[in-house]
Amino acid sequence: MSSSRRSTLIVEHLRKQQMWEAISKGKRLDGRNLDELRPLSIDLGIIKKANGSAKVNLGNSEVIAGVKVETGEPFEGLENKGALIVSAEVLPTASPFIEPGPPDEETIELARVVDRGVRESEMIDLDQLALIPGEIVYTIFVDCSITNTDGNLFDCTSYAVVSALMSCKLPVFEIQDNRVIDTGAIKPAPVTTIPVSITAARIGDSIILDPTSEEEACMNARITITTNSDGHFTAVQKGATGAFNREQIKSISELARLKGQEVRDKIKELTRIGE
């Protein structure tokens, strides 16, 4: 059952006041402009046992994504397509407020929103990944471990998934006598587009991008918008207990397109290294 709760991170009144004051002047406590993202860094191939991996740092938020490729049965209703499964776990290493155990609703939402961004943009051409249509297909798992949290896990995790998929090498499977043979060869994943999510938070009447944990603890509402390489919107998720008006949604959607393209160029640039 979903229940309203207090933010686990408590921000002192004085600090809140400082934040509001700064934001009303168009600046944030860490010196960023309202629409400025934190520095993004991507390390590829850090896990040799995975078919693809990426460690992404967005400010102090850190996520490691690993791709594992297997064969298995297709999903019901998608018999002629490969299967792509994205999961996310906030590790107990990530902050003093995380305890081990089954995922809570926020983690489930995180994994589902990241999954939706990748799936709905059709980033991977799953039609190419059926081995015996209806029976055996490629199954691509992208598992994300959040190792440190400082806000905006949606975007950080999404960038990690996208980077890991862009750099991953699929084993080439062949079918001989109805059995799957690993030929030992590898090929790149069939990437068709690069989805990029941008998360905005509303604090009072101001909209800020890429909120930190502290800003998330003070925000009224949150929205995550994913665009693909064509600049089309492929996934949206509004979160937190406040609301947006129509004009705010319009301006955030335009920001998500512009900033999304900047991040996309950056991801392209960073994932080219190591090829």
Partner 1 sequence: MTQTRNLIDEKGIRTDGRTGDELRKIKIEVGVVKNADGSAYIEFGNNKIIVAVYGPREVHPKHMALPDRCVLRCRYHMSPFSTDTRKNPAPSRREVEISKVIREALEPALMLEDYPRAAIDVFVEVLQADGGSRCAGITAASVALADAGINMRDIVTACAAGKVDERIVLDINDTEDKEGGADMPVAYLPHLNQITLLQLDGSLSSEQFNECLDKALNGCKSIYEIQRLALMKKYFGSESEEIREEQ
Selected range binding partner 1 among 23-31, 64-72, 143-151, 236-244, rule: CB under 8 A: 236-244
Q: How far apart are CA 47 and CA 84, in angstroms?
A: 20
- Pick 168 or 235: Cβ nearer partner 1: 235
Write out the binding residues for partner 1, residues 197-226 only, by CB under 8 A.
Answer: 223
Residue 5 is a binding residue for partner 1 (CB under 8 A): yes
Distant-in-sequence, close-in-space partners of 36: CB < 8 Å, separation ≥ 6: 28, 209, 210
- Please report whether residue 13 would count as binding partner 1 according to CB under 8 A: no
Are 238 and 223 in contact by the 8 Å Cβ rule? The answer is yes
- Written as one letter, the residue type at 35 is D
Segment lying near partner 1 (by CB under 8 A), choices 53-61, 158-166, 245-253, 259-267: 245-253
Which residue, 29 or 221, is less far from partner 1 as judged by CB? 221
Binding segment for partner 1 (CB under 8 A), chosen from 92-100, 170-178, 209-217, 252-260, is: 252-260
Rounded Cα distance, 94 and 110, in Å = 15
- The residues with which 90 forms a beta bridge, in sequence order, are 146
Q: Which stretch binds partner 1 (CB under 8 A): 103-111, 147-155, 184-192, 211-219?
A: 103-111
All residues at 6 or more sequence positions from 87 whose CB lies less than 8 Å from its CB, including other chains? 111, 115, 141, 142, 143, 144
- Measured over all CA atoms, what is the biggest interatomic distance in the chain, rounded to whole angstroms? 71
258 scored as a contact of partner 1 (CB under 8 A):
no
**How many residues in the chain?**
275
Q: Closest approach of Cβ 250 to partner 1, in Å?
A: 7
Considering only residues 39 to 78 of the shown chain, the ones binding partner 1 according to CB under 8 A are 77
The answer to whether the CB of 181 falls within 8 A of the CB of 192 is: no
- Residue of 18, 183, 188, 250 interacting with partner 1 (CB under 8 A): 250
Q: Which range touches partner 1 (CB under 8 A), out of 128-136, 141-149, 204-212, 229-237?
A: 229-237
Using N-to-C axis directions, what is the helix angle for 153-167 and 105-120, rounded to 10°? 40
Q: Report d(CA 189, CA 128) in Å as an integer.
A: 10
User: Does residue 79 bind partner 1 (CB under 8 A)?
Assistant: no
Asked if residues 9 and 217 have their Cβ atoms less than 8 Å apart, the reply is yes
Q: What track of x and - describes contact with partner 1 for positions 105 through 124 (by CB under 8 A)? A: xx-xx-xx---x--xxxx--
By CB under 8 A, tell whether 254 contacts partner 1.
Answer: yes
Residues of this chain that interact with partner 1 (CB under 8 A) are 1-6, 77, 105-106, 108-109, 111-112, 116, 119-122, 223, 228, 230-246, 249-250, 253-254, 257
